[in-house]
Structure 1
Amino acid sequence: MLADIRKIAALAWPVLIGQLAIIAFGVIDTAMVGRYSAIDLAALGLGNSIYVSVYLGLTGVVLALQPIAGQLFGARRYTEIGEEARQALWLAAALAIVGFVIMYFPAPLLAIAHVPPALYDRTDLYLRITAIGLPAALAFRVYSGLANGIGMPRLVMMLQVAGLVAKIALNYWFIFGGLGVPALGGPGCALASTAVNFALAVIGLVLLVRLEVFAPFAIFKQFCWPNWRRQAGLLKLGLPMGLSFLIEVSSYAFMALFIARFGTTTLAGHQITGNFGAVLYMTPMSIGVATSTLVAHAIGAHNHGEARRLARRGIAMACTIGCCYAAISFVLRPSIIAAYTPDAAVLAAAMPLIPIMLVYHLFDTFQTVTAFVLRAYRVAVVPTIIYAIALWGVGLGGGYLLGFNVFGNVPAWLNGARGFWAASAASLAAAGCGLFLHWRSISARYAQEAAVTDGTRTSKAPLSSVDQDS
C-alpha cells in the first residue's frame, strides 16, 4: 500500500504545485481587485465564472489526449503519441474559435444575471480580453496533457510557477496602473492573464521540439493535416469529457448568475467562498491526475489488477486528505476570509457559506478522483449522464428552489446563497456515488476479461477503442 501511495504522491505533488500556481491567478485577482473596488470584485466573480465555464468545457475536449497518451505510453507505442499530439493541436485551434465567439460576445449570458450597467460594462470588458488569450491557453493545455499523460508533470509545474511570478507583477501594474498604463481594475487581471497565457503556450511548444523526453514521439518532425479518424477518436472521448467539465463548472457559473440577484455584497461573499473552495480542490485534482496517469499506464500494459488497486488507493488517499483540510479550514475560517477582504459586509456574507462549502469539498474530493480514474479507462459517456442529472438537476435546480424559497417553506438559514451551496453539496454526493459504482463495474469487467484471456490481447483490449462505455 505504501509503495502505491508513494507512486501517486510522486506524480501528484508537481501537479499540485502547478495547479496551486494556476489557482493562485484567481486568488491574487480576487485579493487585488477586492482592494480596488467592490464593483470590480463582483464583475471579476461574474466574468470569471463565465470564462471558466467556457475554458474548462473546451479544455475537457483537448485533454482527451492525456488518457490516450497514457495508455499508448504504457503500451510503448511512442510514434502514435506524436500523431495524437499533432491532432490535438488542430482540435485546440478549432475549439479556440468557438470559445472566442462565445466570450467576445457575452450579452446573452450576461442578460441572465440582470446586472446593473456599471457591473455589466466591467464584466463585458473582462470577457473580451480573456477571449483573446483563449487560443494560447488551449495550446498550453495540449502540452500539459501530453506531459502529464507520460508521467512528466514537473515539466508543466515549472512553467506554471514561472507564469505565476509574471502574473503577480503584471496584475499589480494593470489593475492599479503606472508607467503610463491607466488603472484598469478588474479587466487588468484579464490582460495580465492573456499575456501570461501566450508566453506559456510559446514556451510549451518550444519544449515539445527541444526536450529529449519528447523526442521518441517525433511530434513536429513532419507536418500533417487533420486526420479525421483520429479526430473522431479524440472527440469520441473528449466531447463527453468536455461536457462533463462544462456541466460541473456551468452549474457553479449559473449559481453565481442567480446569486447576483441577491446583490453585489452577497455575490462578493460567494466569490470569496468559491475561490477558497477552488484552492482546496487543487489537492484532489492533483491526486486524480496522478492516479489517472498510473492507472492508464497499467491499463496500456494490460495490468488490470494493478490498475484497480491504484484507483482504490488514490481515492482513499484523496478523501483522507480532504477530511483534514475541512477540519483545519473550519477552525481558521475567520482568518481565511479576512485575508481576502477588509470589507466587513463582504466578510459577513462569506462567513456562513464556508462551513457549507467544506461539506461540498468533501463530496467534491470523492467524485473528482473517481472521475479521473474513469477517464483513465477511457470511459466518459455514463459519467456525463451522471453529472447532468446530479449537478444540473439536484444542484442547480435544488439550489434555485432553496435559494429563492420557491414554495415558501424553506428554513431561513437555507435561503439565498446558502441554499445554492447546500444543494450543490448534495449534488456532488450523488455524483460521487454514481461514479464510484460505475468504476467498480468497469474495473471488475476488465479484471474478469484479463483473467479469461490470461493477459492475451483480444479485440476487447482497451486500446482498440476510445470509449469503453456500453
Structure 2
Amino acid sequence: MFADIRRIASLAWPVLIGQLAIIAFGVIDTVMVGRYSAVDLAALGLGSSIYVSVYVGLTGVVLALQPIAGQLFGSRHHAQIGEEVRQALWLAAGLSVLGFAVMFFPGPLLTIAHVPPALYERTELYLRIAAFGLPASLLFRVYSALANAVGKPRLVMILQIGALFVKVALNLWFIFGGLGLPPSGGPGCALASTIINIGLAAIGLLLLARFEEFAPFGIFARFCWPDLSRQAALLKLGVPMGLSYLIEVTSYTFMALFIARFGTTTLAGHQITGNFGAVLYMTPMSIGIATSTLVAHALGANQHDAARTLARHGIVMACAVGCVYALVALLLRPAILAGYTTDAAVIAAAMPLMPIMLVYHIFDTFQTASAFVLRAYKVAVVPTVIYAIALWGVGLGGGYLLGFNIGGGVPQWLTGARGFWAANAASLAAAGAGLFLHWRTISVRRERAYQASQAAAVDSA
C-alpha cells in the first residue's frame, strides 16, 4: 500500500502545486476585489461561477484525451498518441466557438438570477472579457492533459506557477488602476486572466512542438484534418465527462444564482466560503488525477489487478487527506475568513456556512477520487447519470426546498444559504457512494473478462 501511495504522491504533488497556483487566481481575485468594493465582489462571485460552469463543462470534453493517451502510453503505442493530440486540438477549437457565444451573451443566465442592475453591468462586462480567453484556456488544457497522461505533471506545474506571479502584477494594475489606466474593479480580473491564458496556450503549443519529452509522439510531424472516427471516440468519452463536470459545477453555479436573491452580503459570504472550498478541493483532485494516470497505465498494460489496487489506495489516500483538511480548517475558520475580507457583515454571513462546507468537502474527496478512477477505465455515462440524480436532484432541488423554506417546515438554521450548502453536502455523499460501487462492479468485470480471454488464448494454442 505504501509503495502505491508514494507513486501516487510523486505525481500528485506537482499537480497539486500547479492547481493551487491556478486556484490562487480565484483567491487573489476575491481578496483584491473584496478590498475594492462589495458590489464588485458580488459581481465577481456571480461572473466567475458562470465562467467556471462554461469552462469546466467544455474542459471535461477535451480531457477525454487524458485516459485515452494514458492507456496508449501504458501499451507503448506512441504514434497513436500524436494523432489523438492533433484531434483533441481540433476539438478544443470547435468547442471554443460554443463557449464564446454563451459567455459573450450571458443575458439569459443573468435573468434567471434576478440580478440587480448594479451587479448586472459589472457581471456582464466580466464575462465578455473572459470570453476572449476561453479558446486559449481550452488549448492549454490539451497540453496539460497530455503531460498528465504520460506522467509529466511538472511540465504543467512550472507554467502555472509562473502564471501566478504575472497574475498578481496584472491584477494590481487592472483592478486598482495605475500607469495611465483607470481602476476597473472585478472586470480587471477577467482581463488579467485572459492575457495570461493566451500566453499559456502559446507556450504549451511551442513545447508540444519542440520539447524532447513529446518528440516520440510526433504531434506536429504532419498536418491532419479532423478525423470523424477519432472525433467520435473523443466525444463518446468526452461528452459524458463534460456533462459530469458541468452537472457538478452548475449545481454550484445555480446555487450562487439562487443565493443572489438573499442579497449582496449573503452572496459575498457564499463566494468566500465557496472559494476556500475550491482551494481544499485541489488536493483530492490532484490525488485523483495522479491515481487516474497510474490506473490508465496499468490498464493499458493489461495489469488489471494492479489497476484495482492502485485505485483503491488512491481513494483511501484522498479521503484521509480530506478529513485532516476539514479538521484544521474548522479550527482556523475565523482567521481564514479575516484573510479574505475586512467587512464584518460578510464575515458574519460566511461564518455559519464554513462548517457545512467542510462536511461537503469530506464527501467531495470521496466522489472526486472515485470519479477519476472511473475515467481511467474510460467509463463516463453511468457516472453522468449518478451526478445528475445526486447533484441536481438531491443537491440543487433539495437546496431550493430548504433554502427558500418551501412548505414552511424547515428549521431556521437550515434556511437561506445554509440550506443550499447542506443539501449539496448530502448530494455529494450520495454521488460518492454510487460512483464507488460502480467502479467496483466495472473493475471486477474487466479483470474477469481479461482472465477469460487469456484462458481462451491458452486453450486455443
Fold match (TM-score > 0.5): yes
Within the alignment, does 1:438 sit opposite 2:438 as a pair?
yes
* Structure 1 segment 285-304 matched on structure 2, within 5 A: 285-304=285-304
Distance 1:338 1:288 in 2: 31
Alignment-mate amino acid for residue 436 of structure 1? F
Q: Which residue of 2 aligns with 1:102?
A: 102
Q: Which residue of 1 aligns with 2:346?
A: 346
Within the alignment, does 1:209 sit opposite 2:199 as a pair?
no
Aligned to 2:151, the other structure's residue is in SS state coil
Distance 1:42 1:439 in 2: 39
Q: What does the per-residue CA deviation read over 1:300-340, in whole Å, with 9 as the maximum and x for residues that have no partner?
A: 00000000000000000010011100000000000000000
Q: What does the per-residue CA deviation read over 1:30-81, in whole Å, with 9 as the maximum and x for residues that have no partner?
A: 0000000000000000000000000000000000000000000000000100
* Structure 1 segment 151-166 matched on structure 2, within 5 A: 151-166=151-166
Q: Is the CA contact 1:244–1:383 (under 8 Å) kept in the aligned structure 2? A: yes
Q: Which residue of 1 aligns with 2:4?
A: 4
Q: Which residue of 2 aligns with 1:323?
A: 323
Q: What does the per-residue CA deviation read over 1:185-232, in whole Å, with 9 as the maximum and x for residues that have no partner?
A: 000000000000000000000000111110010000100000000000
What is the Cα deviation at residue 284 of structure 1? 0.2
Q: Is the CA contact 1:40–1:186 (under 8 Å) kept in the aligned structure 2? A: yes
Q: Which residue of 2 aligns with 1:236?
A: 236
Alignment-mate amino acid for residue 215 of structure 1? A
Structure 1 457/195 Cα, relative in aligned 2: closer, same or farther at 3 Å?
farther
* Structure 1 segment 297-312 matched on structure 2, within 5 A: 297-312=297-312
Distance 2:414 2:348 in 1: 16
Distance 1:454 1:182 in 2: 69
Within the alignment, does 1:184 sit opposite 2:184 as a pair?
yes
Aligned to 1:152, the other structure's residue is in SS state coil
What stretches of structure 1 move > 4 A for 4+ residues in a row?
455-458
Distance 1:274 1:456 in 2: 53
Q: Is the CA contact 1:337–1:350 (under 8 Å) kept in the aligned structure 2? A: yes
Distance 1:429 1:116 in 2: 34
TM-score by length of 1: 0.97
Within the alignment, does 1:224 sit opposite 2:246 as a pair?
no
Q: What does the per-residue CA deviation read over 1:150-205, in whole Å, with 9 as the maximum and x for residues that have no partner?
A: 11000000000001010010000000000011100000000000000000000000
What is the Cα deviation at residue 451 of structure 1? 2.2
What is the Cα deviation at residue 116 of structure 1? 1.1
Q: Which residue of 1 aligns with 2:134?
A: 134
Structure 1 457/15 Cα, relative in aligned 2: closer, same or farther at 3 Å?
farther
What is the Cα deviation at residue 454 of structure 1? 3.0
Show structure 2 runs of 5+ residues with no match.
none
Distance 1:318 1:430 in 2: 17
Aligned to 2:133, the other structure's residue is in SS state helix
Within the alignment, does 1:69 sit opposite 2:61 as a pair?
no
Q: Is the CA contact 1:133–1:195 (under 8 Å) kept in the aligned structure 2? A: yes
Aligned to 1:454, the other structure's residue is in SS state helix
What is the Cα deviation at residue 456 of structure 1? 8.3
Q: Which residue of 2 aligns with 1:34?
A: 34
Structure 1 364/456 Cα, relative in aligned 2: closer, same or farther at 3 Å?
farther
Q: Which residue of 2 aligns with 1:419?
A: 419
What is the Cα deviation at residue 452 of structure 1? 2.0
Q: Is the CA contact 1:367–1:431 (under 8 Å) kept in the aligned structure 2? A: yes
Q: Which residue of 1 aligns with 2:81?
A: 81
Alignment-mate amino acid for residue 145 of structure 1? A
Within the alignment, does 1:113 sit opposite 2:82 as a pair?
no
Q: What does the per-residue CA deviation read over 1:397-436, in whole Å, with 9 as the maximum and x for residues that have no partner?
A: 0000000001100000000000000000000000000000
Q: Is the CA contact 1:450–1:456 (under 8 Å) kept in the aligned structure 2? A: no
Alignment-mate amino acid for residue 282 of structure 1? M
Alignment-mate amino acid for residue 382 of structure 2? V
Q: CA RMSD in A?
A: 1.0
Q: How many positions carry a matched residue from both structures? A: 458
Distance 1:134 1:326 in 2: 33
TM-score by length of 2: 0.99
Q: Which residue of 2 aligns with 1:22?
A: 22
Q: Is the CA contact 1:302–1:455 (under 8 Å) kept in the aligned structure 2? A: no
What is the Cα deviation at residue 447 of structure 1? 1.5
Q: Which residue of 2 aligns with 1:93?
A: 93
Show structure 1 runs of 5+ residues with no match.
459-470
Distance 2:397 2:68 in 1: 35
Q: Is the CA contact 1:62–1:88 (under 8 Å) kept in the aligned structure 2? A: yes
What is the Cα deviation at residue 10 of structure 1? 0.3
Aligned to 2:225, the other structure's residue is in SS state coil
Distance 1:51 1:370 in 2: 26
